[in-house]
């Protein structure tokens, strides 16, 4: 990773980019590199295996040592992927999984979350699936494209009116009823699925080959049995671990664990119990944080840059992407980048998913859409669950007057299907924009979650919020 003049690491792909000058053709180089990576990592691209999941290791939140996913979870992951049609019986990746990885679908995320309780473990499993389904993306250096800012569009009255509405910053505070929070957490823990008892597993391996390269073997039999673990009487300090993972006080944690009546499960399987309790408490806490969330505009006495998002954010973003097959720059059927300079302050658009790509094309085609922008990563709204970066800001000219909408594009408009953190940030953003509308006096500013242009039309057509699953 690159360092600056002070020796500090500089993060981000705009700076950290590896360029390889190979002495063979690009295709030969890419193929050979993929093959070497597969050998070094002990995996075969395009094939999912139980063993690959089982030996994958991760360090849980608050844990001092890494642990493997394990055979039981590995078998469950394989079976779930097979049932969902993501792989075939031999583990070969299907196009459906490649599409799910490309679009980072909520269905695939939930599949992993339903098997792996620990968040760090979920991240590692998703990384492995992505690596298997879509090998390391090696780009031609020549296909990298810098995205210029269209100054004419920045200065247009349509974009100026749009930015005037979304530029206001807010700060939040949270009011939580601690007694109500404790009661809700107790109820959630009582509803938690029972923790399975730890078991020992005996594996019988058959040696296939022994040569200079080493030993190769396959598992032929597996047998599980109840065992007594040596550490059963030497359990970790659960209050300290959960306090670190949830940021709750030890007193609150002790209260909810005792009142829930689930503490005896800790001894049966300490790691699984801690992981599940962490997820349950954090989910409940997140919901309460959002329910007690209040936004206020940044005080007028503060400097202007702290009160408003400066237009210079767009110029400072220094965007770039890649063209060609598998690139993230919106392109036509011939893989040539499409210019959006008639409506967008960015000549080209760098997107994160197929949903965003299709949405961008539809915005370009619509005559009533006069200006729009893919908001840069520096445009963030503070929330109790972390900063949130909305996707789009759009200005539309409608028969009943101009409308200004901030859109979040997802693969689904059902917020209940999103991860808790994603859902919480979206609900927080809604309150942010509601506060801007009330305090600044904008009746034509909206915020909505959509999955395509048809859903966006419902917002533009002023469908009441109670009739929309996305608002």
The tens digit of pLDDT for each residue in 202-256 reads 677 776 666 544 556 676 666 766 666 565 667 788 999 999 888 899 999 999 9
Tell me the two tokens of residue 71: 């055979």
What 3-state class would DSSP assign to 129? Answer: helix
How far is residue 273's CA from residue 263's CA, in Å, rounded to a whole number? Answer: 9
d(CA 313, CA 120) in angstroms, rounded, equals 32
Q: What is the pLDDT of residue 471?
A: 39
pLDDT score of 46:
75
Token output for 317: 């973003």
pLDDT for the residue 217 = 63
Q: What is the reported pLDDT for 40? A: 53
Q: Is 450 in a helix, a strand, or coil? A: strand
pLDDT of residue 470: 34
List, in order, residues 6 or more apart from 58 with CB less than 8 Å away: 66, 67, 69, 118, 120, 121, 123, 124
**Domains detected in the chain:** 43-133 (no CATH), 146-174+296-467 (3.40.1350), 178-291 (no CATH)
Instruction: Give pLDDT, residue 468.
Output: 36
pLDDT given for residue 213 in this prediction: 47
The low-confidence residues of the chain, meaning pLDDT below 70, are 1, 11-45, 61-64, 134-142, 199-202, 207-217, 219-222, 224-233, 463-471
Look up residue 306 and give its DSSP letter.
H
pLDDT of residue 106: 85
User: φ, ψ for residue 356 (rounded to 5)?
Assistant: -65, -40
- pLDDT, residue 466, reads 39
* pLDDT score, position 124: 87
Contact 370, 397 (CB under 8 A): yes
Q: Which of 81, 144, 133, 78 is nearest to 102 (CA)?
A: 133
Distance CA 117, CA 92 (A): 25
307 near 298, Cβ under 8 Å? yes
* Whole-number pLDDT of residue 362: 93
């Amino acid at each position: 990773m690159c360092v600056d003049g002070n020796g500090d690491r500089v993060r981000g792909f705009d700076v950290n980019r590896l360029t390889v000058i190979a002495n063979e053709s690009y295709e030969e180089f890419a193929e050979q590199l993929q093959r070497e990576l597969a050998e070094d990592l002990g995996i075969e691209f395009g094939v999912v295996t139980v063993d690959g999941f089982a030996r994958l290791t991760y360090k849980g939140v608050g844990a001092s040592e890494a642990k493997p996913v394990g055979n039981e979870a590995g078998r469950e992951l394989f079976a779930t992927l097979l049932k969902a049609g993501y792989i075939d019986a031999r583990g070969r990746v299907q196009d459906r999984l490649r599409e799910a990885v490309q679009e980072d679908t909520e269905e695939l995320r939930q599949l992993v979350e339903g098997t792996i309780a620990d968040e760090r473990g979920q991240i590692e499993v998703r990384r492995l699936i992505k690596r298997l389904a879509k090998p390391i993306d090696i780009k031609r250096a020549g296909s990298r494209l810098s995205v210029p800012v269209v100054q004419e569009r920045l200065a247009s009255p349509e974009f100026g009116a749009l930015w005037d509405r979304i530029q206001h910053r807010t700060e939040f505070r949270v009011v939580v009823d601690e007694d109500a929070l404790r009661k809700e957490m107790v109820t959630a823990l009582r509803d938690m699925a029972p923790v399975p008892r730890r078991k020992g597993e005996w594996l019988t391996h058959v040696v296939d080959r022994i040569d200079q390269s080493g030993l190769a073997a396959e598992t032929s039999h597996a047998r599980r049995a109840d065992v007594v673990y040596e550490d059963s009487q030497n359990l970790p300090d659960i209050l300290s671990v959960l306090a670190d993972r949830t940021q709750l006080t030890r007193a609150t944690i002790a209260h909810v664990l005792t009142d829930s009546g689930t503490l005896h499960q800790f001894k049966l399987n300490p790691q699984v119990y801690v992981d599940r309790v962490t997820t349950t408490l954090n989910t409940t806490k997140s919901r309460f944080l959002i329910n007690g969330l209040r936004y206020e505009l940044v005080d007028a006495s503060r400097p202007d840059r702290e009160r408003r998002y400066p237009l210079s954010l767009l110029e400072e973003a220094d965007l770039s992407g890649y063209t060609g097959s598998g690139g993230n720059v919106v392109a036509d059927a011939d893989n040539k980048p499409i210019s959006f300079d008639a409506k967008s302050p960015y000549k080209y658009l760098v997107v994160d998913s197929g949903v965003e790509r299709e949405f961008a094309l539809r915005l370009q085609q619509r005559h009533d859409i006069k200006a729009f922008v893919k908001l840069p990563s520096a445009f963030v709204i503070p929330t109790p669950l972390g900063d949130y970066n909305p996707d789009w800001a759009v200005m539309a000219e409608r028969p009943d007057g101009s409308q200004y909408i901030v859109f979040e594009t997802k693969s689904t408009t059902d917020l209940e299907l999103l991860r808790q953190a994603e859902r919480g940030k979206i609900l927080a953003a809604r309150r942010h924009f509601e506060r801007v509308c009330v305090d600044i006096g904008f009746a034509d500013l909206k915020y909505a979650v959509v999955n395509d242009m048809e859903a966006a039309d419902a917002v533009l057509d002023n469908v009441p919020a109670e009739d929309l699953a996305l608002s």
